């Protein structure tokens, strides 16, 4: 099957041809014809399967050739949970809509709202928005929905996970009753079906991604390693592999600390999470896409929507608490038919999460080479790492892995440091608890 068989216009086919894609993915092949019919669609597709183009291409065709926008109104609304995903969708609209005479804009929080107001004032064919910022614009009378023809909810499951259900319901109540509705989600969970009943009208269901499936092109492995040794192992793995790597941390604080640690180990890293300003998030992501940064350390929410061509490796520095998030994470690599590797660092405290993940994917994740693990943890970094004039690693006689020396662990002191010196004042022992 080719894109020529899906009913797309010549102008859209020309735009697709410029991207180098020749065959549609399963979600594109099934969703595009249905959306072009004007019916409601409820689709389940994993990340990295081309679903963004799956709704962008038919939407552009449905809206092309007609200009009927009024001040502050939009003909199509695409709701998405994160700023990064919103920006990615706008990029897709710009790419595939290069030959169409349509106006589009993206609005999200964390940036100045005034330029967004100006874009809306002219009237738009397509508005891509995060729920919170869209409601802000509506409350300021800068967004109207009288002319809305199509509503698209992307990553609907993630919007529910992030607590956007109230905002979504508020937005739905503002929209015209007659419209085409498209819902894209990673799963058809009970909550998603419940939401679909309030939005869609007899939707066509398309399921190309059972929730317990993983991308076959991704080689998965894990290392059992204590929490205190994870950073050492990660640093060693990254030094032995110069490919770009996306590392997942459970917390914002942990992402910051890990990025700082990697930079100290001469690994160019940046952190991206919800506490970063939009400018910081945009710069970190842009630097990563351009190859200026080797490692991007991200939390789950911030990583949603990160779409990197040929991303080689994903590392779970912390396992996710929700098993389905493991699939979303590793799906950042192995995209569009490419191969990829997913590595998980599993501490003794994370054994339950590991069992839940393996139960979900219905397979045991193989363990990495034990010799590789022993070699990686032989010495703390970067104290024992030397480099030559070309920046390449040179273990020399300082490396305990070459000399047979035992690894020295940092001394732990109980108490407070005495100002002006290197001595420690011992804390008084705590009184024993009474029986």
71 and 103, same domain (yes or no): yes
Of residues 253 and 282, more confidently modeled: 253
Structural domain containing residue 176: 3-207
Whole-number pLDDT of residue 429:
46
- Least trusted range by pLDDT, from 7-16, 77-86, 213-222: 213-222
Expressed in angstroms, the distance from the first to the final Cα of the chain is 76
Closest C-alpha among 362, 364, 360, 352 to residue 323: 360
Mean pLDDT of all residues in 398-419: 42
DSSP-derived letter for residue 305 is T
Q: Does one domain contain both 262 and 129? A: no
Residue range 4-19: average pLDDT? Answer: 93
Same domain, 283 and 260: yes
Q: Compute the C-alpha angle 227/229/233, nearest 5°.
A: 120
pLDDT tier at 307, thresholds 50, 70, 90:
low
Identify which has the larger pLDDT, 394 or 323: 323
Structure tokens at 254: 């942990």
Kindly state the tokens that stand for 250.
Answer: 């459970």
pLDDT at res. 328? 79
420 belongs to a structural domain: no
- Report whether 130 contacts 109 (CB < 8 A): yes
Say if residue 240 is in the same domain as residue 197: no
What is the Cα–Cα distance from 270 to 295, expressed in whole angstroms?
7
Predicted confidence (pLDDT) per residue in 110-137, tens digit: 889 999 999 999 899 999 999 999 999 9
pLDDT of 433 reads: 41
* φ/ψ bin of 20: left (φ > 0), alpha (ψ from -120 to 50), beta (otherwise): left
pLDDT of amino acid 353 = 93
Residue 123 maps to a domain: yes
Burial class (CB in 10 A: 0-12, 13-18, 19+), 395: middle
Q: Residue 405: inside a domain, yes or no? A: no
The 10s digit of each residue's pLDDT in 322-351 is: 887 888 788 778 665 567 899 999 999 999
Instruction: Please state at what angle helix 26-36 crosses helix 51-63, rounded to 10 degrees.
Output: 20
Cis peptide before 382 (omega within 30 of 0): yes
CATH of residue 355's domain is 3.40.50.300
Is the same domain home to 267 and 287?
Answer: yes
Tell me: do 170 and 257 sit in the same domain.
Answer: no
The residue from 146, 177, 207 where one domain ends is 207
Q: Which residue has the tokens 């991206």?
A: 272
> Which has the higher per-residue pLDDT, 307 or 171?
171
Whole-number average pLDDT of the chain: 82
User: Any idea which residue has 């804390």 for tokens?
Assistant: 427
Of 140, 175, 207, the domain-final residue: 207
User: Quick one: 196 and 66 in the same domain?
Assistant: yes
Q: Give which of 51, 35, 62 is closest to 155, Cα–Cα.
A: 51
How are strands ordered across the β-sheet holding 340-346?
218-224, 340-346, 313-316, 245-248, 295-298, 269-272
Same domain for 196 and 226?
no
CA 20 – CA 324 distance, rounded (Å): 31
Q: DSSP strand E in 169-301: where?
A: 180-185, 204-207, 218-224, 245-248, 269-272, 295-298
SS3 content of the chain, % helix, strand, coil (to 5): 40, 15, 45
Residues 177, 242, single domain; the answer is: no
Quick one: 170 and 283 in the same domain? no
Distance from the Cα of residue 428 to its chain's centroid: 48
Least confident of 17-31, 165-179, 319-333, 383-397: 383-397
| pLDDT, greater one: 49 or 433 | 49
> Which of 220-229, 270-279, 324-333, 395-404 is predicted least confidently?
395-404
CA–CA separation, 33 vs 41, rounded Å?
11
**250 vs 188, residue with greater confidence:** 250
Give the pLDDT band (50/70/90) at residue 214: low
Domain identity same for 83 and 200: yes
Does the structure show a pLDDT above 80 at 274?
Answer: no
**Euclidean distance between CA atoms 228 and 354, whole angstroms:** 18
pLDDT in tens, 224-270: 999 999 999 999 899 888 888 999 999 999 999 999 999 999 999 99
Question: Mean pLDDT highest for which of 234-243, 252-261, 300-309, 410-419?
Answer: 252-261
Q: State residue 212's pLDDT score.
A: 47
- Give the domain-ending residue among 153, 178, 207: 207
Q: Is the pLDDT of residue 213 over 70?
A: no
Residue 189 and residue 158 in contact, taking contact as beta carbons nearer than 8 Å: no
**How confident is the model at residue 409, as a pLDDT?**
45
Closest CA to 162 of 272, 62, 51, 81: 81
Judge if 47 and 134 occupy the same domain: yes
Can you tell me the distance from the alpha carbon of 142 to that of 117, in angstroms, rounded to the nearest whole number?
6
The percent of residues above 90 in pLDDT, for the chain, comes to 50
Q: In terms of pLDDT, which residue wins out, 17 or 377?
A: 17
Q: Where are the strands (E) in 4-145, listed by range?
A: 41-44, 74-79, 104-107, 124-129
- Asked if the structure places residue 99 within a domain, the reply is yes
Residue range 50-54: average pLDDT?
Answer: 90
Number of domains in the chain: 2
DSSP structure class, residue 408: P
């Amino acid at each position: 099957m080719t894109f020529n068989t899906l009913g797309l216009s010549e102008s859209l086919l020309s735009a697709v041809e410029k991207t180098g894609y020749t065959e549609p993915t399963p979600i594109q092949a099934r969703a595009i014809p249905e959306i072009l019919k004007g019916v409601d669609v409820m689709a389940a597709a994993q990340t990295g399967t081309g679903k963004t183009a799956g709704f962008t291409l038919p939407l552009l065709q449905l809206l092309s050739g007609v200009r009927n926008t009024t001040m502050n109104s939009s003909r199509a609304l695409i709701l998405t949970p994160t700023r990064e995903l919103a920006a990615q969708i706008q990029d897709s609209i710009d790419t595939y809509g290069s030959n169409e005479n349509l106006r589009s804009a993206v609005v999200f929080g964390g940036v100045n709202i005034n330029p967004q107001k100006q874009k809306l004032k002219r009237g738009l064919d397509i508005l891509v928005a995060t729920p919170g910022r869209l409601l802000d614009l509506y409350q300021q009378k800068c967004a109207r929905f009288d002319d809305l023809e199509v509503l698209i909810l992307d990553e609907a499951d993630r919007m529910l996970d992030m607590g956007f259900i109230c905002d979504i319901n508020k937005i739905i109540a503002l929209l015209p009753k007659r419209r085409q509705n498209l819902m894209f989600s990673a799963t058809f969970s009970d909550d998603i079906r419940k939401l679909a009943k309030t939005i869609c009208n007899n939707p066509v269901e398309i399921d190309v991604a059972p929730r317990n499936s993983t991308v076959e092109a991704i080689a998965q492995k894990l290392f059992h390693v204590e929490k205190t040794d994870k950073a050492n192992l990660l640093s060693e793995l990254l030094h032995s592999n110069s490919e770009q790597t996306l590392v997942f941390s459970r917390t914002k604080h942990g992402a910051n600390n890990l990025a700082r640690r990697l930079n100290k180990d001469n690994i160019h890293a940046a952190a991206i999470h919800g506490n970063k300003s939009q400018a910081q998030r945009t710069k970190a992501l842009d630097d990563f896409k351009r190859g200026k940064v080797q490692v991007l350390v991200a939390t789950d929410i911030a990583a949603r929507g990160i779409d990197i061509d040929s991303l080689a490796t994903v590392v779970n520095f912390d396992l996710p608490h929700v098993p389905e998030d493991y699939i979303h994470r590793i799906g950042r690599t192995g995209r569009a038919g490419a191969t990829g590797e997913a590595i998980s660092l599993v501490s003794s405290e994370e054994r339950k999460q590991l069992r839940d993940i393996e139960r979900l994917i219905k397979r045991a994740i193989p363990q990495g080479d034990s010799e590789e693990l022993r070699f990686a943890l032989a010495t703390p970094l970067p104290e024992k790492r030397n480099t030559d004039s070309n920046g390449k690693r040179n273990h020399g006689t300082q490396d305990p892995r070459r000399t047979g020396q035992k690894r020295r662990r940092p001394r732990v002191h109980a108490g407070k440091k005495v100002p002006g010196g290197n001595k420690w004042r011992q804390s008084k022992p705590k009184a024993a608890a009474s029986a």
